Amino acid sequence: MKIQSKFNQKGVTLIELLVALVIAAITLAGVYRVFISQTRNYAVQDQVMEVQQSVRGAMEMLLRDLRMTGFDDDNSKSVEAGISVPIPLVTPVQASDITINYEYYRRNDAITDETQKYERHQVRYWRDAGTSRLLRQVTVTTKTGTVAGSSEIILENVNALTLTYGVDRDNDGIMDDQNANGQIDNNDWRTAAQVVALGNPKVVAISVSLTGRSDQTNTDVAKVISPRTLVSAVTLRNLSLR
């Protein structure tokens, strides 16, 4: 008769259990690091997209107003209302602050008196250095008077708003080729100080450089996202025709 020793029974030793736990811990740590990395990458990409979209939206609004600079319908009703645009672009021009004027018609308004539908809009854009915001203010003039609107925030976290100008000194209706190389390039744009030094000639084009950054409250994200800059130029067609 054989007596089976209980010491020969199969099982897991304490050392094997500890090794298994260490391996499991290492695996979980790796998975956790990958999860954290992917979460951070997602947050970064989300912030990058938000900054780009915000800068693009603010730029579109600014360019839309710039294209209207100097528009004057000269309609008999607007003349009757006393609405005109004697100063399309307020001078002296500034490096990061611009004020323009144009005529606006309230087409869908229910007002029956046509003369009350014509307005002169004075629109100012500027970067507030204290809050790093791009602000917009509209002052509306009608036949009954002038009302200055409150400033509205167009874009938060603005690093810079830079305006350069294309001038027409020979009054041919097009931007001057300053360096006479036969084409309009970056060297033909003039800073605000240069335009003033030239005696404030007619401005027929404006180049806008707008730089925005991510929300700085999330320091981890802010460290890895560089500011985004969008540059666009617009021809002031209404001034070219004057």
pLDDT value for 32 = 82
Query: Smallest Cα–Cα separation from 103: which of 76, 135, 140?
Result: 140
Number of domains in the chain: 1
Rounded CA gap, 188 and 197, in Å? 15
Range of the domain at 79: 53-240
Q: Which of 62-71, 221-230, 232-241 has the lowest mean pLDDT?
A: 221-230
Q: Is 41 part of any domain?
A: no
Q: 206 pLDDT exceeds 60? A: yes
- 8 domain residue, yes or no: no
Q: Is 18 part of a structural domain of the chain?
A: no
Does residue 6 fall inside a structural domain?
no
In the predicted structure, residue 205 carries a pLDDT above the cut 60: yes
For residue 2, being part of any structural domain is answered with: no
pLDDT for the residue numbered 194: 96
Alpha carbon distance 55, 62 (integer Å): 11
Residues in the chain: 242
Residue 109 within a domain:
yes
In this prediction the pTM is: 0.80
Q: Cβ(69)–Cβ(238) under 8 Å?
A: yes
38 within domain boundaries: no
The pLDDT of residue 4 is above 60: no
135: pLDDT strictly greater than 60 = yes
Q: Is residue 30 part of a domain?
A: no
